Structure 1
Amino acid sequence: MNYHIQQITTKETYTVRHPILRSGKPISSCNFEGDDLETTHHFGLFINSKLVGVATFMKNNLELLHFNNQYQLRGMAILNEFQGKKLGNYLVKYGEDFLKNERIEVIWCNAREIAVNFYQRNGFYIIGNAFIIPEIGLHYRMYKLCES
């Protein structure tokens, strides 16, 4: 499958975040705290110039992890008709490679229960207990050590 990945704006993420992560909620719910910080990076995966996948990497330390330089992966989504084609793997890898220049030590995320296997296949491990995010559901904190 022919694709390319590039940095995109916060608002561009909404076309994928909304139907996948915030279906039935107002479009304004697609704007996450920290989205517009200078240290936050949004990446879009395009197929034939159509945005089909997004991932956001935000500088944010999780106290459970005792590292100084951490990024949180959030707002990760692939449009339904493109899921199951390993496109999410490409987005995660692209973000990791991009962040290697910033010498990060750990990437972590709050993974929805249905996404845990995806993150495990991409080298992430569960840390701590499951927890509920109101109106969204059961999540697990997961992390991946980054190679320098």
Structure 2
Amino acid sequence: MIRKISAEETYPVRQEVLRPRRPLKECFFEGDLEEETFHLGYFHRQKLVAVATYVARKNELFKAPFQYQLRGMAVLPSFRGKDLGTKLLLEGEKLLKKKNQQILLWFNARETAIGFYEKHGYKTSGTPFMIPNVCMHIVMYKNPTEL
């Protein structure tokens, strides 16, 4: 049900969930096409219903030498509440751990998603900030030993 997909495959789900009523081109994120980036998709009856992207990207808030950023986590509204986000998150953590035991995973979480990530052991760092034309976010992370 979960498999690696291309950046382009993520765009329709990202658009519907993260950038509604915005042009599809706004669903391309920096890092999407980098060699170390990987995209995961959750399929239900061969339909892509949830996505997550993992980008090799450092954040100066953290000293860890190996870091990845989670980007574009999105679950179609009709599939929420079925733990698909959890499954994508855990699969991504598993793949990162295989890649390197010392990877710190961080991301800019929407304020509405903080509780979801805290439930999975992520912590906040810094103060909330606005991503223009989107919403308020805060940096969250999980240390390598916790993945």
Indicate whether the TM-score tops 0.5: yes
* 1:100 counterpart = 2:88: no
Q: Distance in 2 between matches of 1:5 and 1:123?
A: 22
User: What is the TM-score with the length of structure 2 in the denominator?
Assistant: 0.95
Aligned length: 145
Is it true that 1:128 corresponds to 2:119 in the alignment? no
AA aligned opposite 2:20? S
Alignment-mate amino acid for residue 106 of structure 1:
L
The letter of the residue matching 1:81 is S
Taking the aligned partners of 1:78 and 1:138, their CA distance within structure 2 comes to 19
Conserved? CA contact 2:41–2:50, under 8 Å? yes
Cα-to-partner distance string for 1:20-55 (whole Å, 9 max, x where unaligned): 001011001011111000010000001111110000
Structural RMSD (CA): 1.0
Identical positions, percent = 44
Please point out which of 4, 8, 19 is paired with 1:7: 4
Cα distance in 2 for residues equivalent to 1:71 and 1:37 = 12
Q: Which runs of 4+ in 1 moved over 3 A?
A: none
Cα deviation digits, residues 65-103 of structure 1 (max 9, x gap) = 110000000100000000111110000000010111221
Match of residue 82 from structure 1: 79
Q: 1:50 aligns with which of 39, 47, 52?
A: 47
1:15 deviation in Å?
1.9
TM-score, normalised on structure 1? 0.95
> In 1, Cα distance between the equivalents of 2:70 and 2:51?
11
Correspondence for 1:119 = 117
